[in-house]
Chains A and B, each alone.
Chain A
Amino acid sequence: MSKFEKLRIVTGYEFLKHIRRARLYIILGLTLIAEMAVLILVPVLGDGFPDNVMVMAALLSIGPSLATIGAIFFAGDAIAGEFESKTGFILFTNPVGRTTLVIGKYLACFAAVALLVILGYVIVSISLLAIYGNVPIETLSSFGLCLLYTGSVVSVTFFFSSISKGAMAATVITLVFIMVITGIIDSILMMTGQPHWFLLSTNGDTIATVFGGYELFMGGFGGAGGMMPFEMESPNIGLSVLSMAIYLVVGFVSSIWITKRRQLA
């Protein structure tokens, strides 16, 4: 039996796990709530929809971005869970390599989140079409960046899952790393005018800033010029793509390397 066939089997059953768990539907619900909140609150609180379709597109991209963060909850127990719940005693005594297992789990996790991202962008496109009569081509770029961000978030989570004793620890550490630590460093580097293109939180901003940069948000609701004490430079898309690709590859490869060496005592 080929490794590819085994990979197919592992991916299939891991995907089934995601489909059968409540968290997929919770993240789906949160994504929909986020989109509805933007569609309802923006016109109500802002005296109608923004004139510029790009502003609305950038705001609506919050939904799929939320789904991407939800990837942490899917991926947190991918590796740690097998050790913590001791299902590894059954799984690892089968003739399937750990590399195959990790790749299969990654593909399943990515596919599950990608489904939510796709749904999010379908809602974005339909909404923009309904409100403005057109969907900017940048929506496609935003979608691509969101998928890449998903891949890198899943990879980083897999890394923490491979080194953690339990699923909860892996999930919390990843959340803290992505949402808090990189966010704080991001703010400090931005305020001090230092480069921060290599931070995952900055990279995630490109999902929205691809529609027109930070200036778009500042001007989109009547202008907020001069409010910030420092210059907010929009993230460079090219460097962000490079950065996310590095997180994806390094996180993924290191999670495989660690899982192969981890023992089940």
Chain B
Amino acid sequence: MSEPIVIENLTKYYNKFLALDNLSLRIPEKENVGLLGPNGAGKSTTLKILCGLLRASSGTAYIDGVSVAEKPEQALSRIGAIVETPEFYSFLTPEENLGYLGRLRGMRGDELKSRIKEVIKLVSLQDWNKVKVEKFSRGMKQRLALAQTLLHDPPVLILDEPALGLDPRGVVEFRQIIEGAGKNKTVFFASHQLVEVHQICTQVAIIDHGRLLAYDSIAALEKKYQSLELAYLKLTETPIE
């Protein structure tokens, strides 16, 4: 399988509640793909299974051909992820938090130090580098989360509402960072913000009730439905039995 992210017949039950219903998706290399859907559609569940935080009831998720369930460490070494509202170790500074995470990924010495400086500057946290995270606002933690996602320069980015909590300037900066950094990466991200998805992504997958409703280029969806917004509204309006 050549695609960096492959989801095959993924099903997930939370007790009796069916969150994902035989979802299959292949994300091409170096593409930015958005995952859209209403609340409770299964977006976060999909991303959490890809990140090894949840186990699928059936089906398989692969990162670069490696099954996340069978070889999680190997699969996770290929990704940078933001899932949910990120929390860092409050007793550590951003530098120390990133140092911990970078070292767990095999980064060392001067390479790690310079890379930490680089990503902290990228997310505009350089003035807060030596301050313990316990003093950070939600938006600042979101920026730090983006920094840790890019720290080890992974080929795959998995992002769940990455701009949540950011101020308008932060949202613009985030978009610019992803557009820049995502040029040579495969980006798969879930969002409610259609404008953001439209600006960053070339393709979208729309899901609801755990099922894939559409997976196409934004251009093709706009041609069919006149706009991405109408495509989303039309596809998600019918209740699924």
Kindly report which residue of chain B lies nearest to residue A88, judged by CB atoms: B53
Is the Cβ of A9 less than 8 Å from the Cβ of B100?
yes
Kindly report which residue of chain A lies nearest to residue B19, judged by CB atoms: A265
Q: Note all chain B residues with C-beta closer than 8 A to A89.
A: 53, 83-84, 86-87
Is B120's CB within 8 Å of the partner chain A?
no
Is the Cβ of A263 less than 8 Å from the Cβ of B55?
yes
Q: Mark B127-148, 1 if CB is under 8 A from A, else 0.
A: 0000000000000000001001
Q: Note all chain A residues with C-beta closer than 8 A to B201.
A: none
Is A13's CB within 8 Å of the partner chain B?
yes
Is the Cβ of A96 less than 8 Å from the Cβ of B104?
yes
Q: Note all chain B residues with C-beta closer than 8 A to A97.
A: 72-73
- Total interface residues in chain A, CB < 8 Å: 24
Q: Mark A9-27, 1 if CB is under 8 A from B, else 0.
A: 1100100110011000000
Is the Cβ of A87 less than 8 Å from the Cβ of B89?
yes
Interface-facing stretch out of B20-28, B74-82, B176-184, B223-231: B74-82
How near does chain A come to B18, taking the closest CB pair, in angstroms? 15
Is the Cβ of A263 less than 8 Å from the Cβ of B104?
no
Is the Cβ of A86 less than 8 Å from the Cβ of B14?
no
B residues 97-147 with Cβ under 8 Å of A? 100-101, 103-106, 145
Is B88's CB within 8 Å of the partner chain A?
yes
Is the Cβ of B87 less than 8 Å from the Cβ of A9?
no
- Between A1, A21, A85, the greatest number of chain B beta carbons within 10 A of the residue's beta carbon is seen for A1
How near does chain B come to A26, taking the closest CB pair, in angstroms? 15
Is A192's CB within 8 Å of the partner chain B?
no
Is A95's CB within 8 Å of the partner chain B?
yes
Is the Cβ of A90 less than 8 Å from the Cβ of B148?
yes
C-alpha spacing A96/B105, complex, angstroms: 8
C-alpha spacing A263/B44, complex, angstroms: 13
Cβ 8 A contact of A90, one of B54, B73, B101: B101
Is the Cβ of B74 less than 8 Å from the Cβ of A95?
yes
Could you count the A-B residue pairs with CB atoms below 8 Å apart for me: how many are there? 71
C-alpha spacing A265/B47, complex, angstroms: 11
Is A92's CB within 8 Å of the partner chain B?
yes
Q: Note all chain A residues with C-beta closer than 8 A to B55.
A: 263
Is the Cβ of A87 less than 8 Å from the Cβ of B88?
yes
C-alpha spacing A247/B15, complex, angstroms: 32
Is the Cβ of B84 less than 8 Å from the Cβ of A94?
no
Q: Interface residues of B toward A: which range?
A: 20 to 34
Cβ 8 A contact of A94, one of B74, B89, B101: B101
Q: Note all chain A residues with C-beta closer than 8 A to B209.
A: none
Is the Cβ of A263 less than 8 Å from the Cβ of B91?
no
With A17-B89, A86-B87, A87-B89 known as contacts, the answer to whether A92 contacts B52 (CB < 8 A) is: yes
Cβ 8 A contact of A265, one of B14, B51, B103: B14
Is A93's CB within 8 Å of the partner chain B?
yes
C-alpha spacing A256/B9, complex, angstroms: 30
Kindly report which residue of chain B lies nearest to residue A8, judged by CB atoms: B103
Kindly report which residue of chain A lies nearest to residue B54, judged by CB atoms: A263
Is the Cβ of A94 less than 8 Å from the Cβ of B76?
yes
Is A6's CB within 8 Å of the partner chain B?
yes
With A89-B83, A264-B48 known as contacts, the answer to whether A94 contacts B105 (CB < 8 A) is: yes
A residues 81-120 with Cβ under 8 Å of B? 85-90, 92-97
Is the Cβ of A93 less than 8 Å from the Cβ of B83?
yes
Q: Note all chain B residues with C-beta closer than 8 A to A263.
A: 53-55
Is the Cβ of B52 less than 8 Å from the Cβ of A93?
yes
How near does chain B come to A259, taking the closest CB pair, in angstroms? 13
Is the Cβ of A86 less than 8 Å from the Cβ of B84?
yes
A–B Cβ pairs within 8 angstroms, 20 of them: A6-B104, A9-B100, A10-B104, A13-B92, A16-B91, A21-B91, A86-B85, A89-B84, A89-B86, A89-B87, A93-B79, A93-B81, A94-B76, A94-B101, A95-B72, A95-B77, A97-B73, A263-B53, A264-B53, A265-B53
In order of increasing CB-CB distance, the 9 nearest A-B pairs are A95-B77, A1-B106, A264-B53, A95-B73, A95-B76, A86-B87, A93-B81, A20-B91, A93-B51
Give the interface of A toward B (CB within 8 A): 1, 6, 9-10, 13, 16-17, 20-21, 85-90, 92-97, 263-265
Question: Contacts A94-B105, A265-B48 given; 9 further ones with Cβ under 8 A?
Answer: A1-B105, A1-B106, A9-B103, A16-B91, A17-B91, A90-B88, A95-B76, A264-B48, A265-B54
Give the interface of B toward A (CB within 8 A): 14, 48, 51-55, 72-74, 76-77, 79, 81, 83-89, 91-92, 100-101, 103-106, 145, 148
